[in-house]
Structure 1
Amino acid sequence: MGKSSNPSLKQYAKEADGYKKKLDKLQKECAATLKNPSMSDRAEKLKTQYQECVDLRNDMTDLQKRISELTKSTEPTKISNFDGKKEDELKRLNNFLTQVGEMEKKLEPDLTEEDYFKKIQEDLHSEEEGYEEEEDVEEEKGEEEAEEEGEECEEEEFSDEYEEEEEGYEEEEGSYEGSENEEEEEEEQATDEETKAETRINYEVLHDFEKQEKGDLSVKKGEIVTLCSVREDGWWQCENAQGDTGFLPKTFLKQHIMYSDLMQEDDSPTSPRTGKALWGSVKKALTETSATDVLHALGAVPAGFREPTCAKLLALDDKHTHVNYSSVKLSNSNVFYKDLFYNPITQRVRPRTARIQKTVTITEAKNIPLPGSNTVVINRLARLCLFDGNKFLSNIVTVQAQCTDKEGKIWKFPMKANSLESPECFVRISEPNNQTGILIELSVIYSKKDSDQLTELSCGWAFKRMFEENGALILNKEYDLNVNGGTPFEKNIEVDPTISRRTSSKFVSMLSRNRQPTLTIRTGAATNEQKERFDVLPSVIAGKLCYLQALALYRHHLAHVLIRDRENLQSTESLFDPFLVHFPSVLEQPDLIDMLLESWESKLKAKSRADKRDLEILVSTLISTFTEWIYPLIHMSLPSYKPGHSKTLQERTTIINRFLTQASAKISALSALLDPTLEFEPFDMTEVAYRMIGAHCIATV
C-alpha cells in the first residue's frame, strides 16, 4: 500500500491488520511446506515463500517507519491517548517483524538442503504425532474461520472506536471539557482491554524459580503462566494457575502457543544452562557485600564503580570463554552437529554466513576516573562481548590498555603484536535479535598503597547496538560511546555523579559534557581473505583478529576428524587428539597463543608458496608446532593466567623461558620433556582424549 495524502494512525492500523492476515496465511503455508519433503514442487515453493517473507518484512518495516513519524498535531481528527495508541501499533508491528524473521531463517537458501529438512520433518513428526491424530480437516477449517472472525471483530472495534470519537467531537464541541474526560476514560479502558488481550499470552516455565525478593513469583519447571506485563530489565510480571502474580526472569520462559513447534529451528537455542546460573550469579553479585561496597561506603571510589561483571562471569566457570564457544555443538536432536558441516567435494568446512560478522577495534577511552587517592593502578583492561541488554551472548575477550597522560584518565589501545594488548577484535553471531550489540566493560586492577593484594574494579561500560531503528546493520565507521556507571544490568547510572553536580549554569553544564567518560571504537567489514575464515567459525563467537586464521584451521581439523575420517559417524568413542583437547583453552592464554603463532609462522617461512596455500599442510604444521612447544608447557604447573596481574604473568614467563632454554640447548622440545630439572604434572589420559560428547557440546545461546 502506498502513502496516503493525509496519513492517520487509523489508516495505518488497518494496513497493519492486512499485513497480519498475510502473515498468518504465510505461516501456515510455510509450516505445511517444511513438513512435507515429498512435495513435488517443494524447492520452488520454498523459494517463493522466502521471497514473500522478504517482501512482507520490507512492507511492514516501511509501515513501522511511517507510523513512527506520525505526530498528534498532524492527525486529521483529534485522538485521545494518541501516544499510547501509536506505541501499541509499533509494538504490534515489531512482533509481526519478529515472526517474519523467524520464518526467513527457516527458508534461507543456505539452509534449505535435503538433510536439514529431513531432520526438521523427523522432529516435527515425533512432537506432533499425537496432536495430528486428533486433528481433522474440519477442525482446521473451523479454527481458520474463528481466527478470521476474531480479526474482523478486532478491526471493527478499532474502527468503531475512532468513528465514535469523530462523532463526539463533531456533535458536542460546546461541552468539550466535560466530554473529554469521559471519552478519555473510555479510550483508556478500551486500550487497556486491547493491550490485555494482546499481551496475556501463555508461557511455559523452563526452570524452577524460588522467590528471592518481594514481588517475585515462585514457579516449577513445566508450569504454564500468563504474561501480564513486561519490563525493560528483563523481568516479566506473570500470573500462575492459582491467580498469584509476580516477576520472573524472561530467560526462564518459553512461549506456549499452537504451531510454535512448527516455526522452531532444529538448531535454535533451548538449553536451560544460560538462565538460572547466569541470573543467579548476577543477582548474587549485585546483592552480596564485597570489598567494593566497603570502598563505596568510605567514599574511596567513584559512585558508579562496581565489581566487574565480566570478570565475575569468567571466574565463575568457563561458559563465557573460548573453551565453550569454540567447541562443536550438537543439534537439538543430538544426532549430528548444528554448526559444523563438511563439503566432501572441496574437502573443507562448508561456509555459513552470519547476520553479524564485523571487526571491532577499540581505540581510546577518555576521562576515566581513578579508583581513589590511596590506590595504585597496576593495569587497565577492556572486556568485549556480544550482549542484548539481558544476557551475555558470546565469550568474553580481554584487551589490555596503556595510559600515558599524567592524570591517568586517558586509556590508549595502540596496535600491538602482543595478543593481550591487540585492540583488533571480531564478533560473529548468526541469529541476533534486534537488541544485540557490543558490550565493552572497562576495569582497573589496583592495590592499596600499603598492600600487595590486587583488586579489579569496573570503571563503567559502553554499549553499541548492531542495528539501526529501521533494522539495518550499523555503518562501518568510528563511534564515540558514552561510558555508563554501574553494571550492564543497571540503567541511568553515572560513572562519577560529582562531575555533573559541579555545574552551576547551563553553559557550564554544556562544558561539563566534555569531561564525561567516553569510549571510541571502530567497526569494519571483513576483507575477502578474512571472510573466508569467518564463514567457517561457529555460529556465535568473539575473539582477537590475530587468532582468526588459527581458529579457522582448528575448525577444518574438527571437520576432518569428526566427519571425514571417522569410520562410524554414530560412534561416540573418545579420539586421540591433544590439539583438539587443548587448543580452545590456549586461546584464553595470550602468552601461549603468541608463542604458538610465532613458532608456526617461523616454520611456514621455510615452506614454498604452494605449501602455504595448501590447507592440509597449514593444519598439519599448526598441529605439529602445538604438540612440540605448547602441549608440554600446558602441563608444567603454570600459574593460572590472570590478565593484568603483572606478578602472575612474570611467573609464567619465567617458567616458559626456562623450558625454551632447555629445549634450545637440547635441540628439540621433546628432549626437554626428559630433562630431570623440569617438573611436569603426572600424565592423565584425559590430556589426549577428545570426547565426542563433552561438557560444551550443548549450545549456550
Structure 2
Amino acid sequence: MPVKRKGPLQLVKREVDEITTQVDSLLNDVQNQVGPTEESFKRCQDLQISTEKTLRTLEKLTKADELAPIGNYDQRKQEEEGRLQSILERLNTLSLKLSPPGPSAAGDLSIKDSEDDDDDYNEDSNEDEDDEEDVDKAARGPQESIPHVYTVLSDFKGEQEGDLSVHKGEVLSIIRKTADGWWLAQDTKGNRGVVPRNYLKIGSVADNEYADEEEEDEDENEEEQSEEEEAQDGKELSEEQDKRSDAFNWSTVRKALTEIDATDVLSAMGAIPSGFRPSTLNKLLVEEGVTHKASHYVQPELSQSQLSFRDLFLEPDTGRVRARQVRSCVCFTLWSCRMIPTPGVGVQVLSRHVRMCAFDGTQVLSNIHTVRATYSPKSPKTWSFSPRMTGILPTLLDGDCFLRCDSASPNLGILFELGVTFIRNSTGERGDLSCGWAFLKLTDDTGNVLPNRTYELAVNGGTPYEGDVSVEASVPRGSSGGVFQQMLHARRRPKLIIKLKSGSSRTRAQLSLLPDTLLHCVNCIHLLVLHRQLLADTLLMERPSMHNADLKCSPILSTFPVLLDQLDLLDALRSSWLDAEASMSRAQKRDLTYVKQEFVNVYMSSVYFLLHSPLLPRHHWADPTSEEQRARVIYTILDSLKHNQHTSGQAGGPEFFVDPKHPHLAFDITELTFDLLSVAR
C-alpha cells in the first residue's frame, strides 16, 4: 500500500515539532552548562534562522496548496504561527543571555571603517590584498561582522527584561533583525537589548561618502594619516583613530537625518500627537500602483481558467448585464468626526480626509476610497462631511458611500483611516499623517448582519496593525477614577460617527450590476452601471469568439477608469449626463440602446476632450493651486462645449475639435485602444 503524501501544512507542523525539540534540548544544555557558551550561542543562532525561514514558508501557504481539503485550515495555520512566534521569543531571550558583551559600536565601527576606506583607496592597485581581506572577514565570527547603524527617532523605555532603553538621537548598531519587529541592538556603551523597529531610522554602515564640501579635506587627511602611520608609534595611531571615530559618528547621524522625511522629523520633535503615524493607506496607494485604486476594480475579472470572466455576464433575453449578489453589500454615510487632535505648530494642513477600504484585520480587500472633510476654524477638532451647498455636491466631499465585497472572511469590515496632508512651513516638505483609525465589523459575534442605525466608532491611535494606542497621551485608556472622571475622559476621546442605511430598491438593483468588489460614492452608481453595460457589450457580444483577445477600438472603455482616480473629471461627466437625462423623454430613458448611444455622445463631447486638453494641469492630490486651475479649465471648456452644442445642434461637433482656440494634445493610439489582457484582473 503506497505511503500517503503529507500536505504543506503537515510538513511545516513536523518542522515546528523538530525545532521545538531542538530548542528544549538547547535550553536544557544551557541550564546544565553542557559545552562551551560559544557553541550554545552558535546553536541558538542556527535555530533562529531556521525558525524565521519556517515562519516565512508558513506565511506563504494557502488553502489551495493542500493536496486534500483540511477542516479549520486557517485556525491550524494560526496555531502554528503562534508556536513559531513563541519559539522566536524564547530564542531571543536566550540569545541575549548567551551573547558576550562587546566593545562600543562607535569604536568598533571606526576601526573597520578605516580599514574599508584604505581598501577602497587602493582598490585598483591592490586587488590581491582585497581578496585576502575578504577571506579574513569571512573567517570572523558573526559577532565580528560589521553591524548596521541606525538612529533612534524617539525615546523608548524598556518595559520587560531584555529590552534596551534608548534616547532620541542615539546611534545604535543592529546585531540581528527578526521578523517580529523587535531587533537586537547595542548602544555606544556596550549595552545590548531589543528595541522596536519603528523607533529606528537607517543610517550608513561604512562612511564611504562624506559631504561634497569636505571631500578634498578628507583626501588630504587620509594622505597625512598614511604618512603618520609610517612615522608615529601605536599611541599616535590610536589618537588618530579616535578622531576618525568622532568624524564617523557625526557623519552617520548627519546622513541619517537627511534621509528622514517630514513625518519622521515632526514625530521625533514631538510636534504632532503621540498617536499620529505615517498614513498606512496612503502608502499603499503610492507604492503599489493601481492595485488599490478604483480604476483597477472596475475592470473585468477573469475566471480561474483565464478563458472567461468571473463577474461579467449578460442576460440572453434582454441583453443587459446580469445581476450578481455578493456576501456583503452595504450603504453608509459619514456624518462627522469629533475630538480629532490637530497637528502641532509649523505645519499647514492642506487636506483633512478619511480613507476607507474593506478590511479583514490583516489585509486590504478592496480599493481605497477617499472622502475629504470640511471643518470650521472655530472648532478644528470637529470634521464634517456632505455639507449643505448649492449645486451638485462634489464627489470628493460626498460621504454617501457603498461597499460591495464578496469575501467570506468572518472578520470583514470597513477600515476608516482619518488623515491629514500637510506641508512644513520651514522646508516646504509635504507629508501624509494618520490621525487615527476606526474599524466597523459588518457582522456581530453570531454572524448576523449589523442593523441599520448610527454607530459611534472609537478612533484608535497608531496603525491597524498595532495594539491599543491612544491618539493623545492626555487621554488615558482604562484610567481609574470616579464615574464623573470617566465620563469626562469618554467625551474627550476621538470618535467617528457613521450611519448604516438601506438604499432604495432602484439603488440596490443598480448595485447588483457592479463588480463584486468596489467601494465608491452612491451618486456615481448610474455612471458605473452604464460603463459596465458598455464593457459587457464589447467583451461578450462584439468579440468574434470567447478566445479572441485582440485590441478593441473603444475610447470610452480605454479612458473611463481614469475618471475614478480624478474625481473632478468624474463630476464633469456626471454634470453633463444629468443635463442630457433632463432632456430625455420617458420612452427614451427606457430604451437601453438609445441611452447607451447618448452616454457615448456625452462622454466624447465632455470629459474625453478634457482628458487630452493641454490646458488641464496634471492631477495632484491636495494641491490647492492645481485644484483651482483644473476647476477653472474644466468648467470653461464644458461651457464652450455646451455653447457649441446649442449653436450647431450636435454634441461635440468636429469643428470644435479643430478650433485653434481649443488646442488638444497630440494624438495617441492608446486613446482609442482597449487592451483586455493588460487591464483584466
> Normalization by structure 1: what TM-score?
0.60
Q: 1:491 to 1:475 in 2, by over 3 A?
A: same
Aligned partner of 1:688 in structure 2 is 672
Q: 1:258 aligns with which of 64, 67, 72?
A: 67
Q: 2:607 aligns with which of 615, 625, 630?
A: 630
Residue 617 of structure 1, CA deviation: 2.3
1:414-433 aligned within 5 A: 414-415=386-387, 417-433=393-409
Total equivalences in the alignment: 459
* Secondary structure in structure 1 of the residue aligned to 2:414: strand
Residue 676 of structure 1, CA deviation: 2.5
Taking only the aligned residue pairs, the percentage that are identical comes to 29
Q: Which runs of 5+ in 1 are unaligned?
A: 1-137, 144-199, 205-222, 230-238, 265-278
Q: 1:582 to 1:227 in 2, by over 3 A?
A: farther
Aligned partner of 2:634 in structure 1 is 656
Q: Which runs of 5+ in 2 are unaligned?
A: 18-46, 74-178, 180-195, 202-259, 646-650
Aligned partner of 2:300 in structure 1 is 328
Asked whether the equivalents of residues 292 and 367 of structure 2 are also in contact (C-alpha less than 8 Å), the reply is yes
Residue 518 of structure 1, CA deviation: 0.5
Distance 1:243 1:461 in 2: 33
Matched letter for residue 599 of structure 2 = L
Aligned partner of 1:456 in structure 2 is 432
C-alpha distance after superposition, 1:327-362 (max 9, x if no partner): 001111111001111111121111110110010111
User: Does residue 1:470 correspond to 2:453, yes or no?
Assistant: no
Residue 447 of structure 1, CA deviation: 2.8
User: Does residue 1:675 correspond to 2:659, yes or no?
Assistant: yes
Q: 1:247 aligns with which of 38, 43, 55?
A: 55
Distance 1:356 1:247 in 2: 32
User: Does residue 1:565 correspond to 2:545, yes or no?
Assistant: no
Residue 227 of structure 1, CA deviation: 8.1
Aligned partner of 1:121 in structure 2 is none
1:366-515 aligned within 5 A: 366-404=338-376, 406-415=378-387, 417-450=393-426, 453-500=429-476, 505-507=481-483, 508-515=485-492
Q: 1:451 to 1:568 in 2, by over 3 A?
A: same
Distance 1:589 1:682 in 2: 21
Residue 320 of structure 1, CA deviation: 0.8
> Higher mean Cα deviation, 641-650 or 568-577?
641-650
Aligned partner of 1:610 in structure 2 is 587
Asked whether the equivalents of residues 419 and 590 of structure 1 are also in contact (C-alpha less than 8 Å), the reply is yes
Distance 1:318 1:285 in 2: 27
Distance 1:612 1:644 in 2: 38
Residue 499 of structure 1, CA deviation: 2.1
Q: 1:609 to 1:663 in 2, by over 3 A?
A: closer
1:210-289 aligned within 5 A: 228=16, 246-248=54-56, 252-255=60-63, 256-260=65-69, 289=260
C-alpha distance after superposition, 1:94-132 (max 9, x if no partner): xxxxxxxxxxxxxxxxxxxxxxxxxxxxxxxxxxxxxxx
Matched letter for residue 522 of structure 2 = L
> Normalization by structure 2: what TM-score?
0.62
1:68-217 aligned within 5 A: 202-203=8-9
Q: 2:273 aligns with which of 302, 305, 314?
A: 302
Aligned partner of 2:625 in structure 1 is 647
User: Does residue 1:697 correspond to 2:668, yes or no?
Assistant: no
Residue 418 of structure 1, CA deviation: 1.4
Aligned partner of 2:576 in structure 1 is 599
Residue 631 of structure 1, CA deviation: 0.8
Matched letter for residue 8 of structure 2 = N
User: Does residue 1:535 correspond to 2:512, yes or no?
Assistant: yes
Asked whether the equivalents of residues 357 and 525 of structure 1 are also in contact (C-alpha less than 8 Å), the reply is no
Q: 1:519 to 1:345 in 2, by over 3 A?
A: same
Q: 1:419 to 1:249 in 2, by over 3 A?
A: farther
Asked whether the equivalents of residues 225 and 240 of structure 1 are also in contact (C-alpha less than 8 Å), the reply is no
Aligned partner of 2:320 in structure 1 is 348
Distance 1:249 1:389 in 2: 21
Matched letter for residue 697 of structure 1 = A
Q: 1:598 to 1:389 in 2, by over 3 A?
A: same
C-alpha distance after superposition, 1:500-554 (max 9, x if no partner): 2897844424421210111011112232111211111111111110111111111
C-alpha distance after superposition, 1:594-628 (max 9, x if no partner): 11111111112121112112222222222211111
Distance 1:543 1:286 in 2: 36
Matched letter for residue 636 of structure 1 = S
C-alpha distance after superposition, 1:425-467 (max 9, x if no partner): 0000123300110011111123344565543211111101111
Matched letter for residue 680 of structure 1 = H
Asked whether the equivalents of residues 579 and 626 of structure 1 are also in contact (C-alpha less than 8 Å), the reply is yes
* Secondary structure in structure 1 of the residue aligned to 2:604: helix
* Secondary structure in structure 1 of the residue aligned to 2:476: helix
* Secondary structure in structure 2 of the residue aligned to 1:447: strand
Distance 2:276 2:659 in 1: 49
Distance 2:403 2:472 in 1: 30
Residue 301 of structure 1, CA deviation: 0.1
Q: 1:263 to 1:689 in 2, by over 3 A?
A: farther
* Secondary structure in structure 1 of the residue aligned to 2:304: coil
Matched letter for residue 616 of structure 1 = T
Matched letter for residue 513 of structure 1 = A
Distance 1:291 1:674 in 2: 47
Asked whether the equivalents of residues 476 and 522 of structure 1 are also in contact (C-alpha less than 8 Å), the reply is yes
C-alpha distance after superposition, 1:19-50 (max 9, x if no partner): xxxxxxxxxxxxxxxxxxxxxxxxxxxxxxxx
> Higher mean Cα deviation, 657-666 or 538-547?
657-666
Distance 1:347 1:303 in 2: 56
User: Does residue 1:311 correspond to 2:282, yes or no?
Assistant: yes
Aligned partner of 1:112 in structure 2 is none
Q: 1:228 to 1:532 in 2, by over 3 A?
A: farther
Give the root-mean-square deviation of aligned CA atoms: 3.4
Asked whether the equivalents of residues 554 and 619 of structure 1 are also in contact (C-alpha less than 8 Å), the reply is no
Matched letter for residue 306 of structure 1 = R
Asked whether the equivalents of residues 437 and 465 of structure 1 are also in contact (C-alpha less than 8 Å), the reply is yes
Distance 1:504 1:535 in 2: 50
Q: 1:493 to 1:262 in 2, by over 3 A?
A: closer
1:551-562 aligned within 5 A: 551-562=528-539
* Secondary structure in structure 1 of the residue aligned to 2:329: strand
* Secondary structure in structure 2 of the residue aligned to 1:456: strand
Q: 1:263 to 1:687 in 2, by over 3 A?
A: farther
Q: 1:633 to 1:261 in 2, by over 3 A?
A: farther
Asked whether the equivalents of residues 354 and 417 of structure 2 are also in contact (C-alpha less than 8 Å), the reply is yes
Residue 659 of structure 1, CA deviation: 2.6
Distance 1:262 1:671 in 2: 67
Asked whether the equivalents of residues 445 and 454 of structure 1 are also in contact (C-alpha less than 8 Å), the reply is yes
Residue 363 of structure 1, CA deviation: 0.5
* Secondary structure in structure 2 of the residue aligned to 1:513: helix
C-alpha distance after superposition, 1:128-151 (max 9, x if no partner): xxxxxxxxxx99xx99xxxxxxxx
